[in-house]
């Protein structure tokens, strides 16, 4: 069913009262607009990036330069979506004054939503420049996230990200799958016989 913003109520199932500036690791998934395979293709279990896919990868790699409280973990660009682990750091920056006294410099703590928005905005802008287009959506409105609470979960998610190209044919986001996921629904990702579902709308 085609998404109609007048008929579908966009919903957020963020954890009530949770501060998404809280230091920790977050697993995110972002899908391309209408699940279009812009970013490349999977050949023999290996992801081959298009120029647009390389643009997304580059903008992911420079997130820590744009957002000082960010560290990056595993990441994969798939044909019509990306998976990644973003770590929000809570410690203030440390620097030396002219008198060589160690001081702490308060730096802005960017929330997860702003970081994801930045990744989407900067990459979409560059992709549309290459396509000679303006005002055309590259990403869906929203993203999916899971709060990583322990080492076991972190390890399982890292493995899931690494193996994603090998499992592409079975992926819920594979273009030929009979069941389509529209913007008003949640994305279910399974690992270690557990299912984590979280939908965030910007």
Query: Which tokens hold the place of 182?
Result: 């529209």
How many domains does the structure of the chain reveal?
Answer: 1
Is residue 52 in some structural domain? Answer: yes
Is residue 134 in some structural domain? Answer: yes
Is residue 37 in some structural domain? Answer: yes
Is residue 96 in some structural domain? Answer: no
| CATH at residue 70 | 3.30.70.1290
Is residue 31 in some structural domain? Answer: yes
Is residue 5 in some structural domain? Answer: no
Per residue in 107-159, pLDDT (tens digit) is 688 999 999 999 999 999 999 999 999 989 999 999 999 999 999 999 999 99
Residue 15: predicted pLDDT: 52
- How distant, in Å, are the alpha carbons of 59, 110, 117, 165 from that of 122? 7, 16, 9, 25
Instruction: Give every residue of the chain whose pLDDT is below 50, as ranges.
Output: 1-14, 92-105, 178-186, 188-202
Is residue 154 in some structural domain? Answer: yes
Domain that holds residue 71: 24-91+107-158
Task: Give dist(CA 80, CA 32) in Å, integer.
Answer: 5
Of 171, 195, 168, 200, the residue nearest 183 (C-alpha): 200
Of 72, 75, 89, the residue nearest 30 (C-alpha): 75
Do residues 87 and 24 touch, judged by C-beta distance below 8 A?
Answer: yes
Do residues 80 and 38 touch, judged by C-beta distance below 8 A?
Answer: yes
Is residue 149 in some structural domain? Answer: yes
């Amino acid at each position: 069913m085609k998404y109609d913003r007048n008929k579908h109520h966009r919903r957020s199932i963020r954890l009530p009262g949770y501060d998404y500036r809280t230091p920790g690791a977050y697993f995110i998934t972002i899908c391309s607009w209408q699940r279009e395979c812009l970013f490349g293709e999977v050949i023999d279990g290996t992801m081959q990036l298009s120029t647009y896919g390389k643009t997304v990868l580059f903008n992911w790699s420079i997130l820590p330069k744009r957002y000082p409280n960010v560290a990056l973990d595993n990441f994969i660009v798939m044909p019509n979506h990306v998976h990644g682990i973003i770590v929000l750091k809570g410690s203030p920056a440390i620097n030396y004054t002219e008198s060589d006294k160690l001081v702490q410099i308060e730096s802005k703590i960017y929330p997860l939503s702003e970081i994801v928005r930045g990744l989407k905005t900067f990459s979409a802008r560059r992709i549309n420049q290459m396509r000679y287009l303006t005002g055309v959506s590259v990403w869906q409105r929203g993203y999916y996230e899971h709060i990583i609470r322990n080492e076991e979960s972190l390890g399982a998610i890292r493995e899931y990200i690494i193996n994603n190209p090998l499992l592409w044919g079975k992926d819920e986001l594979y273009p030929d799958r009979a069941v389509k996921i529209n913007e008003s629904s949640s994305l279910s990702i399974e690992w270690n016989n557990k299912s984590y579902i979280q939908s965030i709308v910007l």
